[in-house]
Structure 1
Amino acid sequence: MLEGIDGIIFDMDGTLLDSMWIWPSIDDDYLNKYQLTKPERFHESMEGMSYPEVAQFFLDTFPGLSRTREQVMEEWMQMARDKYRTQVTMKGGVHSFIREMKSQGKRIGIATSNARELTEDALDALKISGLFDVVRTAGEAGAGKPAPDVYLMVAAELKVEPERCLVFEDVPMGILAGKNAGMKVCAVEDAFSSLQRGKKKELADYYINDYYDISNETYEVLE
């Protein structure tokens, strides 16, 4: 998996951190607050979108919601910040994996669809900000996943060619973003996307249940 790889790029939620559970909870609270009914395939429809894109999706889905995009984003921010500061944990084995990769001289980045503020809250709370050479959001790149923009931005700032980057992702749209950037992609098991496991394996190059699979060489190589 790591042969010919100089750059490691992580998605954050559901990949680096066990945090995907936060957003259905916030969405439900927000929908209840404004007495809105959640349509079918609601969360799947938002998969990979940047933070501003998700806020716009809410406004497009619920035209009667008399809020601006900025107001929606700020309300979510207030609802999410405490959870990201106090309730988020790292995925199994990822901390030791990153430290091992750094010891081998590999460059380490994050390419997330989340907001910059929440990303920094989580990394600071877990005291892991210093592990990453570059942290970028899809909003900063100007396009959500599956567009490759945020992965290409991170690779450029890491000064690593895309074909020498390995991406870790937990959902199909993120996997596609990495592949669209010309990178190898390892799919990561996460409870939130368990129903999409088959699709994830169709799209990715490798599959892990946790990061111990890499050191134990028990990861799945996909055709």
Structure 2
Amino acid sequence: MTTAKLKAVIFDMDGVLIDSEPLWQIAEHKVLTDLGLNISIEETVETTGLRIDQVVAFWYARFPWPNYDNAQTAQAIVDQVVSHILANGEAMTGVISALESCQEMGLKIGLATSSSSDIISAVLNKLAIGSYFDAIKSAEHLSYGKPHPEVYLNCADALNIAPVNCLAIEDSFNGLVAARAANMQTIAIPEKRLSQQPRWIIAHQQLEDLTFLPSFLAQKISC
């Protein structure tokens, strides 16, 4: 891994802090099949890490449907995800200990997500973790979402930390590409059933879950 001094940790949200990827897949599948698309819930994995308008555009390009309204379809999916999060959302393994370790080690903490403000609020409220973050940035209103690096660069800027001194934690390949393009140090924590895929080699480090982060950070900072 790069030898640049670590000063901040920037977390992706969906699939890193909250176990919401299955909730996204359920919502995406329901809304799209209600529109008449013949897709399986397994196929929705293809859009993991993309901003919601990009998700809708992705499927429309593949299976065009009549009366296309990207914003309306996107909002329908978001509304369902928010509902699922508030009812059933659960933190990923090791979230609180990871956040507390970052604070104890004097690292700034950021959040860089493709999700909308509605989803961010639902997650932070459900998990009661909003107070840990020094900066929260969404790609919701940016020209480009992940895999474009802008949301990561914006978060580093808000933290007043150079990107090279930031460690980004991602579960998706699109997010990992964004963090690498931002010139950040990276950790991949992919979904277990996808963890053996060779593409994660582009991460500087791969961990099984966030319970391994405190020891990794302690080792990294002591170097």
TM over 0.5: yes
The TM-score, its normalising length taken from structure 2, stands at: 0.87
Aligned to 1:13: 14
Where structure 2 has 5 or more consecutive residues not aligned to the other structure, the ranges are: none
SS at match of 2:85: helix
1:129–1:52 CA distance, 2 compared to 1 (3 A): same
Bigger mean CA offset, 46-55 vs 107-116: 46-55
The TM-score, its normalising length taken from structure 1, stands at: 0.87
Contact 1:169 1:185 in 2 (8 A): yes
Query: Post-superposition shift, 1:90?
Result: 1.4
Aligned to 2:150: 149
Structure 1 residue identity aligned to 2:165? R
SS at match of 1:136: strand
Aligned to 1:201: 200
SS at match of 2:146: coil
Distance in structure 1 (CA, Å) of the matches to 2:81 and 2:45: 20
Distance in structure 2 (CA, Å) of the matches to 1:72 and 1:145: 20
Q: Deviation per CA, 1:44-100, whole angstroms, max 9, x where unpaired?
A: 542332122222223333322314112112211222211111211112112112112
Query: Post-superposition shift, 1:200?
Result: 4.3
Number of residues of Structure 1 aligned to a counterpart in Structure 2:
218
Contact 1:108 1:134 in 2 (8 A): yes
Distance in structure 2 (CA, Å) of the matches to 1:126 and 1:195: 25
Aligned to 1:140: 141
Distance in structure 1 (CA, Å) of the matches to 2:196 and 2:138: 25
Aligned to 1:103: 104
Aligned to 1:76: 77
Q: Indicate the RMSD between aligned Cα atoms, in angstroms.
A: 2.6
Contact 1:55 1:72 in 2 (8 A): yes
Where structure 1 has 5 or more consecutive residues not aligned to the other structure, the ranges are: none
User: Superposition pairs for residues 50-89 of structure 1, below 5 Å?
Assistant: 50-89=51-90
Distance in structure 1 (CA, Å) of the matches to 2:22 and 2:75: 20
Contact 1:4 1:164 in 2 (8 A): yes
Aligned to 1:120: 121
Distance in structure 1 (CA, Å) of the matches to 2:6 and 2:191: 24
